């Protein structure tokens, strides 16, 4: 049976220490507060500490939440929109919102969006069997967004201002096509191995990187699509559909009908990273999924994600996640 977690009860603790002391008794064993009350971590199933929700303050009136539920989690988070507006990177799992209904996000198809959730709009984040839910949310009250972001209405990108000031009584959602670096940064937040003050400072820095990516995307939203946009999108799709394939710059360029030079320059301009960096990150996300959801040997996962040898796979994986594949499976599986 799934347990229901009321997120707004917990988030209030970041704003008011009395709210923390007033948390329901049944949550006493589930909540850990560190960094002088600035980082709140909830493990809804104490026997599964790798499943958690974290709340922390990014700036005055600006907050961030991390949801990291693995495939074995049986918890749902329920919240009233409460007039919140913000940005979301959903890496995998189910979310039920008034705008989309029940929507499933595949691990190889992360979704980045801007949202407005009025008072009374019910949102549920949950876990499908064998899927879990992973994502980050950066948010503030709609009435305080300008102060929270530190920008006046006149300084806001037109699309952000339009979205913000048109928001009334209906739930709104607008999706983005952000650089892979945004997804990689969000993944790094979920997998950050640090603890205490070091973790808090790292999470704040990473969350601000994600926020800046959203704001930059909004600033350029009205610009004309660059040359070769469709071919470059096809190149990205080739990688994401089969990251374990032995892709090369030449093979991808041939498949999408671009020269190697135009592919390299255009991909960097359009997605903020190189083709090979995007491929490596896609392979790391697939490796993470396989380690969590299967019992395949590490050597086989290395081959299925496009690495020639287990040692090379282990080296790249450890550099990306801060631990070996076996440690990752044991600690976060």
* Radius of gyration of the CA atoms of the chain, in A: 20
Q: How far apart are CA 62 and CA 14, in angstroms?
A: 11
Residue 234 has pLDDT above 50, yes or no: yes
Mean pLDDT across 191-215? 88
Pairing of β 122-126 and β 111-117: unpaired
Q: What residue ranges do the domains of the chain occupy?
A: 3-219, 229-332
> Do residues 190 and 94 touch, judged by C-beta distance below 8 A?
no
Do residues 55 and 63 lie in contact, with contact meaning Cβ atoms separated by under 8 Å?
yes
Give the confidence band of 330 by pLDDT, cuts at 50, 70, 90: confident
- pLDDT above 90 covers a percentage of the chain that reads 22
What pLDDT, on a 0 to 100 scale, did the predictor assign at position 18?
A: 39
Specify whether the CB–CB gap between 17 and 37 falls below 8 A.
yes
> Does pLDDT of 164 surpass 90?
no
39 within 8 A of 200, measured Cβ to Cβ: yes
Report the distance separating Cα 278 and Cα 271, nearest Å: 9
- For Cα atoms 231, 233, 237, give the angle at the middle one, nearest 5 degrees: 115
CB atoms within 10 A of CB 238: 18
Q: What pLDDT is stored for residue 193 in this prediction? A: 79
- DSSP structure string for 227-287: TTHHHHHHHHHHHHH-TTS---HHHHHHHHT--HHHHHHHHHHHHSS-HHHHHHHHHHHHH
Listed residue (226, 7, 221) closest to 122, CA to CA = 7
User: Tokens standing for 111?
Assistant: 């979704």
Strands 133-141 and 62-69: antiparallel
Please report, for the chain, how many H helices and E strands are present, in that order. 13, 12
For residue 268, what pLDDT is reported?
Answer: 81
Model pLDDT, residue 303: 94
Q: Give 331 or 113, the one with higher predicted confidence.
A: 113
Q: Mean pLDDT over residues 236-249, rounded?
A: 90
More confident residue, 306 or 222: 306
Residues 199 and 205: their CA atoms lie apart, in Å, by 10
Overall CATH class of domain 229-332: mainly alpha
Strands (E) located in 101-237: 101-105, 111-117, 122-126, 133-141, 172-176
Residue 126 pLDDT:
66
Q: pLDDT value at position 17?
A: 38
CA distance linking residue 169 with residue 178, whole number of Å: 28
Instruction: Report DSSP state, residue 333.
Output: -
Q: Which residue has the higher pLDDT, 73 or 4?
A: 73
Using an 8 Å Cβ cutoff, are 154 and 81 in contact? no
């Amino acid at each position: 049976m799934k347990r229901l977690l009321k997120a707004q009860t917990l988030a209030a603790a970041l704003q008011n220490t009395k709210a923390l002391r007033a948390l329901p008794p049944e949550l006493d064993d589930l909540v850990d507060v560190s960094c002088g009350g600035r980082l709140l971590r909830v493990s809804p199933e104490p026997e599964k500490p790798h499943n958690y929700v974290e709340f922390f303050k990014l700036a005055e009136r600006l907050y961030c939440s991390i949801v990291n539920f693995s495939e074995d989690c049986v918890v749902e988070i329920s919240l009233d929109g409460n007039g919140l507006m913000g940005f979301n990177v959903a890496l995998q799992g189910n979310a039920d919102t008034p705008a989309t209904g029940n929507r499933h996000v595949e691990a190889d198809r992360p979704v980045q969006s801007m949202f407005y959730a009025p008072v009374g709009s019910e949102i549920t984040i949950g876990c499908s069997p064998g899927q879990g839910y992973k994502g980050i949310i950066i948010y503030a009250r709609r009435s305080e967004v300008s102060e929270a972001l530190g920008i006046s209405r006149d300084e806001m990108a037109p699309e952000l201002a339009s979205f913000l000031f048109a928001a009334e009584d209906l739930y709104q959602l607008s999706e983005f096509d952000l650089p892979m670096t945004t997804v990689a940064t969000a993944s790094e937040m979920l997998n950050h191995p640090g603890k205490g003050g070091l973790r808090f400072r790292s999470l704040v820095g990473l969350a601000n990187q994600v926020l800046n990516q959203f704001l930059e995307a909004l600033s350029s939203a009205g610009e004309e699509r660059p040359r070769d946009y469709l071919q470059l999108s096809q190149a990205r799709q080739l990688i994401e559909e089969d990251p374990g394939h032995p892709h090369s710059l030449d093979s991808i360029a041939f498949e999408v009908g671009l020269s190697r030079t135009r592919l390299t320059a255009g991909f960097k301009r359009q997605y903020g990273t190189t083709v090979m960096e995007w491929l490596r990150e896609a392979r790391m996300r697939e490796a993470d999924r396989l380690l969590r959801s299967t019992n395949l040997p590490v050597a086989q996962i290395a081959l299925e994600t496009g690495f020639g040898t287990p040692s090379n796979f282990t080296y790249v994986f450890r550099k990306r996640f801060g631990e070996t594949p076996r440690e990752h499976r044991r600690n976060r599986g």
